[in-house]
Structure 1
Amino acid sequence: MHSMDDRQIFEEQRERIDKALSTVVDDMDRQHLRKLQLDMHKCASTCCLDVEASAENVQRCVDRCHLPLVRARNYVQQELCDFQTRLQRCVLSCNDDVKMQMRLQETGEQRQNMAVQFERCAVDCVDKHVGLLPTMMRAMKVVLEKNNSASSNS
């Protein structure tokens, strides 16, 4: 059972992760996704200007215009999911280590020490993963820029 302090620490760590991920999403949106969205709308409006095209052809054209944005959003979402999965695995590993050690502890004080150990381990997981976000962002930007230039050339 977690004490009030434990819950406060967990909430603080959750807020750190949420804030860091929100910053990543906002940055990706401003630097990449919005441009793709603007390009998508320009492309779709060009499709609609073709008065000779059938409704079906216009719709196919508009659908093609959406693909780069859809792919980019899916990519960003997958990277964020992968990040959260890695963080969860790290915290679960802390939990597993502490559970194993708690089985061997007999006193309440020893068990309390294990809870502190888990807390430190979980905070280390958050620290490590928040620290990895700038590298993850740089890698995502490279992929998005590469994919955007590839779709612009087609």
Structure 2
Amino acid sequence: MADLQSKVTQLTSQIEGQLTTMVDEIEKQKLRPMGRNMHSCIVSCYDKIGKSGRKEQIEQCAQNCQMPYQQAGQVTQQEIGNFQNRLQNGMMQCQNDAQAMVTPDMQGDEKKMRQVENNLFKCIEGAVGKSKAELGPMRQRIESRMVLESSNGAGGDSGEKKGWFGRG
């Protein structure tokens, strides 16, 4: 059983490493430039409205500038959470399936229990493999939603509130 746990830990470490690498790349390539644009937009709010406008106008303008960056971060976190839930659910299903195969007479039979463990590991390996295959499409979803949002524009002083897919 300890051997099984170390194999599973190794598999999950691999997928976590791949997820971390992907998230780091998205953060560097997409979120940081969006963050820079957000701050530039906020500075322009002060340049345009600062001397003659009301405080509320500046706040609204700044809030509109922050929206794409904040929503991109939320989408990234939501996708990561969904990914982790799918992986965890797949691994739990493997565990449940293995437990369902164990009968009272098997518990004392090392050979039969080893076979159950082998089947469990193969199932978990499949769940992790499926999750690895989901990383690319997940990245595409995240990035396409970022592009869509940034093409909607930060809004700046327009007063428009645009959410994902044009919803407010």
C-alpha distance in 1 between matches for 2:35 and 2:133: 30
**Of residues 19, 23, 26 in structure 1, which corresponds to 2:24?**
26
Which residue pairs with 1:53 in the alignment?
A: 53
CA gap 1:105/1:27 in 2 versus in 1, 3 angstroms: farther
Q: State the distance in 1 between where 2:122 and 2:105 align.
A: 18
Provide the aligned C-alpha RMSD in A.
1.8
Name the CA distance, whole Å, in 2 between partners of 1:111 and 1:66: 56
Q: Pick closer, same or farther for the CA change 1:69–1:152 going to 2, 3 Å.
A: closer
- How many percent of aligned residue pairs carry the same amino acid? 22
How far the C-alpha of 1:152 sits from its partner, in A, is 5.3
Task: Provide the residue aligned with 2:164 in structure 1.
Answer: none
**CA drift at 1:105:** 4.9
**1:85 maps to 2:82:** no
Partner of 1:136: helix, strand, or coil?
helix
Q: Relative contact order, CA 8 A, sep 6+: which one is greater?
A: 2
* Alignment partner of 2:114 out of 96, 112, 115: 112
Q: State the TM-score, normalizing by the size of structure 2.
A: 0.82
Unaligned runs of 5+ in 2: 161-168
C-alpha displacement of 1:120: 1.4
For the 8 Å contact 1:13–1:126, the answer to whether it is kept is: yes
Q: CA 1:145 to 1:104, structure 2 compared with 1: closer, same or farther past 3 Å?
A: farther
- Residue pair 2:68, 2:154 contacting (<8 A) in 1 also: no
Instruction: Give the counterpart letter for 2:77 in structure 1.
Output: Q
What is the rounded CA distance, in whole Å, between the counterparts of 1:104 and 1:23 in structure 2? 44
How far apart in 1 are the matches of 2:34 and 2:83? Answer: 24
- 2-structure distance, mates of 1:105, 1:44: 70
Letter in 1 for 2:46: C
Aligned pair count reads 152
